[in-house]
Structure 1
């Protein structure tokens, strides 16, 4: 394992489409920086004692988004680390505002085909439980990409790079932000 590159001044918030690698890259980045890894979806599931698909089925998306907003705000205020968010979290103005105030948004950008390869065989994506999941993913992608472009930093997730290579790309992007990580 490489030495931690420096001191974290703000929470690094991983944003992007489902399947972009936010959780895997975020977890490895946190380990590399020797800071806590936080996952908003995991925190919501733990608080509700339900899985995300169960929350969507029982309470609906609006209820889930409200809980997501509360959890992201709490995590950003309580602890500095690497926070992985759900694909829809960055779409809400309120979430973007609190992320801008307490953290830095790092968008993992992956093209539609890479995302489809990663999510097509998973049954854990409530938004893709439709008659045509590819068309649904494409529609979500087209609607969300312009909003993800508002992130502070963007890193390409090409579907070919290892998680460690992705961590290196994120660290390289963060070097332009001394207000986030103080590199030694």
Structure 2
């Protein structure tokens, strides 16, 4: 395998971290989660960063981390749901690897994130409305950025990984063993 970078984009609750870990194991690549890397570098969790620096401060940190991580080789990178909001992030991801959009419904997002208190944008009275608004803004950006789209709704993570590998092979048979 030579310089195979796979970047996972999609909304919160799409399964980027879970699928990313499984995909990296299957392809024998390093797995990195941009949100965990931001927390590691900041020495604080994402809700704290949002509280202290606001979303703009978080997005600045995210942009720097995504740029650095996308330059690594042989990596599966799970990005945060809003990473595609900045054109710089979309460009650096597209330039340095294969972008996979893990598409999911708002219904599935609600189900997967309902008990997660580590998602600042969902700490609201009406998380459904927030997710619908985010999807209306981000879905076109995910589609525009992605080389591959895989729907994750009601699918086992291993099935999704198999589908990603199948599509990667169809795109570039020499890169994926």
Q: Which runs of 5+ in 1 are unaligned?
A: 1-6
Match of 2:150 in 1: 155
- Are 1:183 and 2:173 matched, yes or no? no
- CA 81–8 in structure 1, closer or farther in 2 if over 3 Å, else same: farther
Cα distance in 1 for partners of 2:116, 2:89 equals 27
Cα distance in 1 for partners of 2:130, 2:2 equals 37
- Are 1:46 and 2:40 matched, yes or no? yes
- Are 1:108 and 2:102 matched, yes or no? yes
Cα distance in 2 for partners of 1:139, 1:123 equals 19
Residue aligned with 2:175, SS: strand
Q: TM-score, normalised by structure 2?
A: 0.94
Q: Which runs of 5+ in 2 are unaligned?
A: none
Cα distance in 2 for partners of 1:100, 1:78 equals 14
- Are 1:24 and 2:18 matched, yes or no? yes
Q: Extract structure 1 runs of 4+ deviating beyond 4 A.
A: none
Match of 1:70 in 2: 64
Match of 1:3 in 2: none
Q: TM-score, normalised by structure 1?
A: 0.91
RMSD of aligned residue pairs (Cα, Å) = 1.4
Match of 1:13 in 2: 7
Cα distance in 2 for partners of 1:8, 1:164 equals 24
Identify which range, 37-46 or 138-147, moves more after superposition: 138-147
> How many residues in Structure 1 have an aligned counterpart in Structure 2?
176
Match of 1:122 in 2: 116
